[in-house]
Amino acid sequence: MNAIGLAVTLRVRMSAVDGNYSGGAVGSARILALLEDVVTELMIRLDGDEGALRGLQQVEILAPVCAGDYVEATGVITKVGSTTRQVALEARKVATYAKGEDLAPSAADALASPVVVCRAIGTSVVPRAMQRRPRLVLPALASGHGVSRLPPGVVHVTPPPHAVVTPPRKTPPEVIIAASIVGGGVTRDHTPHVPRTPEEVGKEAKRCVELGASVLYLGISDMAVDPCSLRGRMAEMVAAIRAETDAVVVVSAVRPGVADASRLLAFDDCGADVVGLPMGSFNYGDGVVGVSRASVREALLSLRGRGVPMIGEVYELGHCEEVVLLGRDRLISGPSRYQFVFGVPGAMGAQEGLMQFVADRLPKNAVWFAAGVGRYQRRVTEAAIQLGGHVRLGLADNIFYRRGVLAEGTSTFVERSVAYAVSVGRQPATVESARTMMGLGGIGGFDVRGDVSELDEVERFLDSDCGID
């Protein structure tokens, strides 16, 4: 029987005895012992013998565990030799004590997004003489008698784990989380959870920053209203955010229709840190955003004259090259900033291979974000984090937390993306780190000290095989 894919899961509660460090912290040896138990059960089910754990390789301790935490450990057989069996192991924290001044000491929460606390590869040995080759007994298929047998050649995975590979350290240790709180034409007609007033925007911004976001992205919610008519409202939202947090604020006036430089710059004086500009025309669902290269360059000249940095919004592959050319023509100050938007109907797709292709073509010092629209949001977010990019996510891009369930705010997406980033070895960037990486100075300003090195990098990129003439 092909045993590749056979999996088991154990769930245990860490007791006070396990918490033998200050603050009730559980030693890593306890978690590794739990993983060893998983390997042992797999050997029993496969060979009818406990076998002997030869070793654990590639062990990663990714998050702390304390007394009272519930830890779920899953093992999946990935390779079977004549006597050796290799198992991929992952331990996740699924419930923990809730802490707060107004909470009882016994308050606890089940985690909507389990936290990965440990990963490893285990190798176990079962001598041939001990391999009893029993009929496979699987807990998920248990009958009323407690035992079920599978027909020959069938392997059942219980449960199928979400395989995640920690990225190599070539990825940056920090990831910038941008919360798209409003925009994308999303209104209360679509979801009751989208902020409507400046005060609501400010409060949601504060929640997002507290959970790990360092950039706040604001766009147009009501596409029926001309961007220039919304100028005052956007300034009010930025002011409300400034009253709650010092996070980086990005604004964008993208909407269907033909846009000249004045429309692209509709929100340039609202007090934001960065202005997002589309790098060309593209399909926007059933509509079209019409932007000429001349309009983009005229808008950039205006921004550069006022010392306002920009981020290039990329909806098509050609837009990516346009950012590079703008850098070559000295129209962009500081590092090249890209905001990729994947999954807009009629524009760039959301395949992981396409994201890899784009990431490979960027200048080395570029700062790039990825946003996935609708059902692609989570897929794009996780792929970008693994590829070394930064992410934008929120109600302006997607209103569903999972299929059929509305997200109760952009902060729920931020919390989930932060948990995923930590699980693969990247930490959410602080506001200060985000400003440094994006080449920004204080609130409402920017830093041009990186101009020369960045332009040199652009020139090298244009001379390489990836650049264009």
- Which pLDDT score is estimated for 443? 62
- Which pLDDT score is estimated for 3? 77
Q: Taking each helix axis from N to C terminus, what angle separates 317-328 and 293-306, rounded to the nearest 10 degrees?
A: 50
Q: Residue 106 belongs to what H/E stretch?
A: none
Report the alpha-carbon distance of residue 193 to residue 181 in Å, rounded. 10
* Domains, the chain: 7-141 (3.10.129.10), 174-463 (3.20.20.70)
Burial class (CB in 10 A: 0-12, 13-18, 19+), 432: exposed
Residue 370: name the closest of 361, 383, 357 by CA.
383
Whether 213 contacts 178, CB under 8 Å = yes
- Which pLDDT score is estimated for 170? 64
Gyration radius of the chain's alpha carbons: 26
Residue 368: name the closest of 324, 305, 424 by CA.
324
- Which pLDDT score is estimated for 11? 93
Whether 427 contacts 173, CB under 8 Å = yes
Give me 246's structure tokens: 């010092």
Q: What is the pLDDT along the chain (469 residues), one digit of tens a residue?
A: 467 878 888 999 999 889 888 888 999 999 999 999 999 999 998 899 999 999 998 899 999 999 999 999 999 888 899 999 999 999 999 999 887 778 888 888 898 888 999 999 999 999 999 998 787 766 544 344 443 343 343 333 344 444 444 444 567 889 999 999 999 999 999 999 999 999 999 999 999 999 999 999 999 998 888 888 899 999 999 999 999 999 999 999 999 999 999 999 999 999 999 999 999 999 998 899 999 999 999 999 999 888 899 999 999 999 988 888 888 888 887 788 999 999 999 999 999 889 999 888 888 788 999 999 999 999 999 999 989 999 999 999 999 998 889 999 999 999 999 988 888 888 999 999 999 999 987 665 444 333 444 445 545 544 554 544 4
3-state secondary structure of 34: helix
